[in-house]
Structures are given as structure tokens and as C-alpha cells.
Chains A and B, each alone.
Chain A
Amino acid sequence: MAQFVDRQELDFLLFDVMGMDRLTSSDRYAAYDHETAEAILDSAQAIAAKHFEPIAAEMDANEPRVVDGKVVIQQEAKEALAAYAEAGFFAAGFDEGDGGMQMPKLLSLAVSGLFTCANNALANYAFLTQANAAMLRAFGSPEQVATYLPPMLEGRWFGTMCLSEPQAGSSLSDITTKAEPQGDGTYRISGTKMWISGGDHELSENIVHMVLAKIPGGAPGVKGISLFLVPRYRVDENGQVGDWNNITLGGLNHKMGQRGTTNCLLNFSDGGDTIGTLVGAEGAGMAAMFHMMNEARLAVGHGAAMCGLGGYLASLQYARERLQGRHPLNKDATSPQLPIIDHADVRRMLLAQKTAVEGATTLTSWCAALVDRMSVTDDPDEQKRLNGLLDVLTPIAKSWPSEHCLEANKHAIQILGGYGYTRDFPMERFYRDNRLNHIHEGTYAIHGLDLLGRKVRMRGGADFIALLEELDAIATRADAYGELKPHVAALRSAIQELSETTRTLCAEPDVNRSLANATLYLNTFGHVVIAALHLWRAETALTKRGEDDAFRDGVLASCRYFFAYELPKTQTDFAFLRGMDDTCLTMRDAWFGNA
């Protein structure tokens, strides 16, 4: 069985770095003491080990197929999700008043991570349902909530998000799906949605689609988009599943990765009427989506980190066992070969993965911890500050892991040499699964634009400055340890450069020019944040001196690696960004050659 978690690292992250125990002092999370959290992680790990991981390779090899109009997925997938449901994981993150367990976000992210790393494609069905249910809870009418929420929290009905269309992906203002009022409070939904994950299957009794559509005669662009709840099977007053709602499966997309998750072209009002109900106010569809997006993006970033983790653990195990080559100085051909972990270059590739995965999981966990702090504070100023921090951090938490944990998967393949390139090992699957995280929930480019074009400028730059203060506070804490002082200085200087570069870019009146290298800005900003987080981890590990030397030294080595190999790159990048190079901006279409 492939390993999908390192519980010592997870404990360190949740309890020592993030201080999850402190949450118990709030009424809201009083039940989540250390022992309870461990018991929950145990249960999740047991289910993931028994039901999720063993079918991951098989689900990848046998994509869902359409047979007689129905999507066929192996039976074990349904049983696995039933075990997940029975243990109560669908409802875990919801409030007790809604029938949930009120689990802190920090813990539920870790729990989701176990399932993602064990079987990403399978876990998606559950996560989509939970995201859909959270949206319904936040914006649905009392009747909609009463009808649709309980079966979703029980895991009997699944959910989807239907935003994208064939002609409108990044630019959602250009969607054309229509919602016509029927006069009875319902709407007739017609049009085509593309890329819908979990859009069709027989794993659940019903599928609840959250659909973005335009009401004819409404405002143009984003303001004319509303959100609709559209079930696959209509639901009667008693909550019973009834007639089919005329949503046809136009086809399944054949994907590079995450292949066990059906990905569908769906036609609404195909043959008969597809009926939906409005969620929230008319024209407020995008606002509702944005409300949920921070969370969805955090989940994508964490998913990327989990693909990275799977590759790391498997390549580490391999590197300890594979015998190949001798040290450069050893010319004795009869001497035994070394485990490849003894080669410095293999250690480089392991360290690159280790630091990427630890940096990424610490970032997503920090965001989750901020969400938890927001839900337990009554102070409106503090709420605003935390919300602002999350606004700036979210594009980074989504994007940095999707770039650098994908790179980590490349190293994992490389460590296995030729074997990494085969399907006998999970590395190439992790790589393919991870590749999506760079694309969906806003591409890398879109987040660069979001960060530099909006987030750092919001509220006069107040949120951006609040984040710099947080990073500086980490430096101050680390400064107490002599061995970390050089890193503290390096981090402070990088923070300074980030601040200056941002100021220069925001002052540029030609917005096209200031945003031309937004993707690089996103990446470099991310590096500064990740460096700070490694310092935070190192400082935490030093306060635990004497407990487990090998583990602590591993944390310190990660920090050292990141500050030696990665952070220095930001100096070049910041100087380049401030120069506002226009090579790409001024490049002409015609110069690219013939394609």
C-alpha cells in the first residue's frame, strides 16, 4: 500500500506550529481537544487506507465509461463513499445546528488531505458535495435548505458546481446559459455547461447542480448572472426523488489525471424542461460564488500539496531501498552499490520535495487556522484584519502549491529513474492528478492578476501591509535563536523588497505594463511567504528541543534548504519585476512563427 500520510509531521503542523489545541478555549470548538482530533484522524486514516487508497490506481486505469446512457464506475468507489458517509465525514464541517460536527477548518483540511492523498479522484465526489452544501447553507432559502441539505450531509445526494461553458472558462461574464422565469417561482434552465466534475454518475440517489445562468433582460456581464439550484431528479414536497429533470450527458471528457472523477458536458432542457430554483438574489450569482471561492481555492492548493506528499513519501521509500552506483571517489567495482539516498543529488530532489510539501501544507493550514480564528472572534476589527489576510493569501495558497508541488512530483518521478515513468509506481499518476490544480479554480495567470491587480491594492493596501506585518512577526520570533539569525536577516530583506516592488508596480499608470509579469510576481511573493513559514516551523521545532532529534533536524534542514536554494531567487525576480520588462507585452503574434 502506498503511504499517504506522515502522522508525526501532521501532528507537528497541527498542534505545535498551528497550536490547534488553543481552539478548545472557544465555545465553538471546545470539543476538539488533542485526543479527539487524533481519534478523528485515526478514523479518517483507517477508512482511507481500507477503501480509498487500494482502488486509486484502478480508478485511474479504468476511466468512467458510458454504457447504455449510464456512467459506469467500479462498485468499490460507491462502497468507499458509503463508508465515508457512514462515519459522518460529509457533515463534519457543518454547524451542529445543521446536523454537523462543527469541526474546525484546520482539522477538516487535514482530514480531507488524507482522503485526497489516498485517492484524489474519489475524494472529489465528497468534496464537491460539501462545497455545494456549504453554498446552499449560506445562500439558500429555508425551504431549499430543508429539502436539499440533509440528504447531502448524509451523503445520499451529491453536488456539483456548474460555472464553465465551452466558450466561457476564465471569463465567466460571457456565459450564455439561460434561466427563464416560469411564473410559479421556478425557472427553466437551458444551455450547455462544460467541465462539470461529478456531473453525472450513479454513485448517489440524486445530483444537485449549482448552476450559474442569466435571466433574459438582466444586466450585461457579471451583474446579470444568478445562481440556481438544479437537481438531476426533481424533488417533491416530501423530499422524495421523482422525475428526471431533462439534463442530458453530452459526453465525458477524457482527462490527463483525476480520471476517476467524471467530467461532463451537460445539456440543460434537452428534450424537455429543466427546472431550477433561484439561490439568493437575482444577479447575485457571482457574489455567492466568490463567497465560497476562498475555501474552494484553499482546497485546491491543499490538494496540490497532497499530490506532492504522495510522491514524496513513495520516492523516499524507494530511495532508501534502491541500490545503484557508488560514491565518486570509490573506484572499487566489487564494492556493494549504495542506496540511492546516499547520493547528494538524490537528497537534493528529496529535499526539494520535502520543502515544497511542508511549505505548501503549512501555508494552507495557516489559512485554515485564520478561518477558524475568524469564526471564534467577536471583535469586528480583528475579523476584518483576518479576512483581509485571507484575501491576500488565497491566490498564493491556491497557486504556489500547484506550481511547486507539481515540480515536486517531477522530482519524485526522477528519483525512480525509469521506474518512475511507469504505471507500476504511483508517481506518474500523482503528477497527472496534480497538473489540474494549476488550471482549475482560476488558472495560475488569473491568480497573478487577482493578486497584483486587486488584492494588494484593496483598502489602500491595508491587507497587504497586514500580511507583511505577520511575516515580520515570524522573523521576530525566530530571532530568539542564534542559528536562525542569518535566515531572519534574509527574510527581512526579502519582505522589504516585496514591499518596494509592490509599491513600484502599483504606482505604474500603465496597468497593462504593470500586470504584464503578474504571474512571476505571484510566484515570487509566494516564495517570500513560504520562506517565512519555514522559519516559523524551524522556530517551533527548536522550542521542542530534545523530543525527537531526527524529526527536528529534518525541519531545520528544510528551512536551510529553502533559504539556500530558493529564497535567493527572489532577489533577481524582484529586481526584474521593478524594471517592468515588456518583452512579453510587446511581443507580436506574427513573430511567433507558423502554427
Chain B
Amino acid sequence: MKVLVPVKRVIDYNVKVRVKADGSGVDLANVKMSMNPFDEIAVEEAIRLKEAGKAEEVVAVSIGVKQAQETLRTALAMGADRAILVVAADDVHHDIEPLAVAKILAKVVEEEQPGLILCGKQAIDNDMNATGQMLSALLGWSQGTFASELDIDGDSAVVTREVDGGLQTIKVKMPAIVTVDLRLNEPRYASLPNIMKAKKKPLDEKTADDYGVDVTPRLEIVKTSEPVARAAGIMVGSVDELVAKLKEAGAV
């Protein structure tokens, strides 16, 4: 079985996000970018499936600016076998929307014929939580979202999902799309030897045009603003005092 893992290049989770002065979005120029943390978990899971003998090949794919090839190299350094870069934007501020991503991925799936697609449940930049679901609809494949456990068993997959109030376990037919949640695994670090090996692994470059997909944004960003500043905290001496203060503030 081949596993396809879409990975997105996003602002690094350590970076303090700055809103652009004109409110049109977040400032991404000269800002450190990394792989979306949920996608790291998806890559890790795919590699573990391969290590367990349940997958033969792991293919990472990224859609966005040319620099996303760095993100793909990270996936390759973690252990993916090869990568596909679909260049769909020149400007780092051009976020490709989930529907366009899903359409491109659907074409990639047509070419690659994977048995499983593992993707992050959402990207930490726009928090859309939509790509996996849209792709499932476009392909007509079954989906298991928010996975905290995954067991591939022949032609079906058992997915434990993190839902409100607990865990839900479902069984879906393969081929399937599974979107992964934080607790599924702990991604490995790219070791130095593997970073070096990754440079020799194949990375194909395509464009959105190759797949005939129009990536023009359909959503209009009306305004982006900083969250309200957090008020200063206070030190309390005991749990009782804490409870009293919370009651005072009407919080409990």
C-alpha cells in the first residue's frame, strides 16, 4: 500500500505572529516557517505504518509556494520516500484555500493511486479543518477525522476519534482518508544523517496548471486583527484564595 501525506508550510508555532499594519493578514515576510504540526503527526504515522510492514511507500505532497520544498525535505528527512511539490502561488501571503487544495490532491490521487491518505486535521495558520473532508467528498472515499489511534487491518481501518465528551471508534473501508489529531503519536526528529539522505530522495515539481485547477481565492478576508491583550495576572497564596478570587470575578 502507498500512503499519501499532504503537508502544509505554515508560520512556525514558536513565532510571535504579527498582524500586517493594513489588517489584510499576518506578516509572513522574513518569518520562520515550518511544517504544520498536525501534518508532522501524519507523516510520523505513515512512517510507522511502513516500519510495521503495513505500507510500502510514503509520498509527501505540498501545495503552495516554491519554498514549500523545504517542508517536503523535512518530511523526507523524517522518513518519507519521495515528494511532490505543486507550485500554486508566488507570494507567501497567498494562502491556497482548502477546496483548491482538495481538488489538486484529488488529481494527485488519480495519478498516484494511494491506499490511504493521512493528513493533519487542520493547519495552524487558518484553522480551516476542511481539506480532508472535502477531499473525501471529491473522491467518494470514506473518512475518519480527528484520529487519536489508527489500526489498518486489511481492507478496513479502525479509527479512534477524539470527539466532544470522549472517544469514538469507527471502522471505515479502505481506501480512506484519515485526518490526525494531536495525541495520535509523537513525531520523531529528523536526525542529521537522515537530513543528509533526504537531499538525495526524489522531489517532483508540478504546478496547479498541470492539474488544471484554478486556485484563485473564493473567500474575501475582511479584516485581521490582534486578539485583545491579556490583562495582568496576580499571585495568589492558596487554593482557597484562588477560589475566592474566581468567585469574586464571577468566573465560578
User: What is the distance, in angstroms, from A508's C-beta to the closest C-beta of chain B?
Assistant: 51
B199 touches A36 (CB 8 A): yes
A8 touches B30 (CB 8 A): yes
User: What is the distance, in angstroms, from B44's C-beta to the closest C-beta of chain A?
Assistant: 13
A residues less than 8 Å from B189 (CB atoms): 43, 46-47, 83, 86-87
A89: CB under 8 A from chain B? yes
Q: Which of A35, A43, A323 contacts B192 (CB 8 A)?
A: A43
A510: CB under 8 A from chain B? no
Q: Which A residues, 1 to 40, have Cβ-Cβ distances below 8 Å to chain B?
A: 3, 7-8, 31, 35-36, 38-40
B residues less than 8 Å from A88 (CB atoms): 191-193
B103: CB under 8 A from chain A? no
A residues less than 8 Å from B142 (CB atoms): none
Count CB-based A-B contacts (< 8 Å). Answer: 56
| Residue tally, chain B, CB below 8 Å to A | 19
Interface residues of B (CB under 8 A from A): 14, 29-30, 32, 34, 70, 73-74, 77, 189-193, 195-196, 198-199, 232
Q: What range describes how many residues of A lie at the interface?
A: 20 to 34
Interface residues of A (CB under 8 A from B): 3, 7-8, 31, 35-36, 38-40, 42-43, 46-47, 49, 83, 86-89, 91-92, 101, 103, 323, 547-548, 551
Q: Give Cα A31 to B189, complex, Å.
A: 20
Q: Give Cα A39 to B74, complex, Å.
A: 7
A residues less than 8 Å from B34 (CB atoms): 42
Q: Give Cα A101 to B199, complex, Å.
A: 14
B195 touches A36 (CB 8 A): yes
A548 touches B77 (CB 8 A): no
User: What is the distance, in angstroms, from A540's C-beta to the closest C-beta of chain B?
Assistant: 15
B residues less than 8 Å from A87 (CB atoms): 189-192
B residues less than 8 Å from A92 (CB atoms): 192
With contact pairs A31-B196, A89-B192 given, residues A39 and B77 touching in the complex (Cβ less than 8 Å): yes
Q: Give Cα A559 to B74, complex, Å.
A: 36
With contact pairs A39-B73, A42-B74 given, residues A86 and B191 touching in the complex (Cβ less than 8 Å): yes
Can you give 30 contacting A-B residue pairs, CB < 8 Å?
Answer: A7-B32, A8-B30, A31-B196, A35-B70, A35-B73, A36-B196, A39-B70, A39-B74, A40-B192, A40-B195, A42-B74, A42-B190, A43-B77, A43-B190, A43-B191, A49-B14, A83-B189, A86-B191, A87-B191, A88-B192, A88-B193, A89-B192, A92-B192, A101-B192, A101-B193, A101-B196, A103-B192, A547-B29, A547-B30, A548-B29
B199 touches A31 (CB 8 A): yes
A residues less than 8 Å from B198 (CB atoms): 39
Q: Which residue of B lies closest to A37 (CB)?
A: B195
Q: Give Cα A547 to B30, complex, Å.
A: 8
User: What is the distance, in angstroms, from A11's C-beta to the closest C-beta of chain B?
Assistant: 9
B29 touches A43 (CB 8 A): no
Q: Top 10 A-B pairs ranked by shortest CB distance?
A: A88-B192, A548-B30, A87-B191, A39-B195, A88-B191, A43-B190, A101-B192, A7-B32, A43-B189, A87-B189
With contact pairs A35-B73, A39-B190, A47-B189 given, residues A8 and B32 touching in the complex (Cβ less than 8 Å): yes
